[in-house]
Amino acid sequence: MNAPPGIYEGAANVIAALMLLLEFGMLRQALVRDQVRLYMAQSALISALAIVIAADRGLPDLYALAGLSAALKVVAVPLVLRRLLGGPASEDPPGVAGSHTLNPASAVLASIGLAAFGFFSFGAFHISGPAAPELALAIAGAMVFVAFGLMIVRRDVASQAVGFFSVENAISLAALVVAAGLPLILETAFLFDLLVAVVVFGMLIRAHHARSESLSTADLTRLRG
């Protein structure tokens, strides 16, 4: 008989599954503000996983990483996105509502297929052991594909930004379960990449909204040759 999963492996698998469910939740949300809230919850789970790993393996550097991740992903990034969206908390800017290329039900069904492809593709590597729970790593692969699906089925810059940030969360999940013992300076490099992406998307959202008074990318199809 196989030994039951330990605390770390069980926590990693549960947190990874919850993160994937939140990713599917983003696909169903009509408002970008609701997507941002789900992104905050997803990011909080990443910080919680870092704390679990730090306690289980005695890696104090991960406590610092968890704090930095929470400050940036749970507080700073959502705050920046909300400021860029502006307006009442219950509304989105023009060009956001109805920006789906597929209806939410079809988008979720398509994303289930993408998730299955990512799950079995990553699972085929059979990377397992105490440093890398096989199920959590496979779920991280599924998350990558679902996040890319979010970027494809929504035609507004803000939702595409949330999808991109979710890809970074999936990569962070995979990095934690595969190489949690990396030096802190290397692990924080992922957060620096996210900071650069936030600046770039912030400039893109402002420039696009100023040009067309909308966040929709549908009109960019005119640029095709």
pLDDT at 83 > cutoff 90: no
Identify any residues that bridge with 216 across adjacent strands, giving them in sequence order.
Answer: 156
User: Which two three-digit tokens encode residue 187?
Assistant: 């692990």
Residues 6 or more apart whose CB falls under 8 angstroms from that of 208 comprise 157, 214, 215, 217
pLDDT at 61 > cutoff 60: yes
Burial class (CB in 10 A: 0-12, 13-18, 19+), 207: exposed
pLDDT at 165 > cutoff 60: yes
pLDDT at 128 > cutoff 90: no
Q: Tell me the pLDDT band of 181, cut-offs 50, 70 and 90.
A: low
Q: Residue 78: which of 171, 176, 202, 184 has the closest Cα?
A: 202
Q: What is the pLDDT of residue 60?
A: 84
- At residue 142's C-alpha, the angle toward residues 139 and 148, to 5°, is 145
Residues 6 or more apart whose CB falls under 8 angstroms from that of 83 comprise none
* Across 56-62, average pLDDT: 81
Range 36-54 burial, b when 16+ CB lie within 10 A, else e: bbbbbebbbbbbbbbbbbb
Q: What is the pLDDT of residue 95?
A: 46
Q: What is the pLDDT of residue 153?
A: 84
User: Which two three-digit tokens encode residue 32?
Assistant: 């970008």
pLDDT above 70 covers a percentage of the chain that reads 68
Q: What is the pLDDT of residue 154?
A: 81
Q: What is the pLDDT of residue 43?
A: 92
CA distances from 16 to 13, 119, 169 (A): 5, 12, 10
* Across 98-121, average pLDDT: 80
CA distance 138 to 108: 19
Identify any residues that bridge with 100 across adjacent strands, giving them in sequence order.
Answer: 154
Terminal-to-terminal C-alpha distance of the chain: 61
Count how many residues are written for the chain: 225
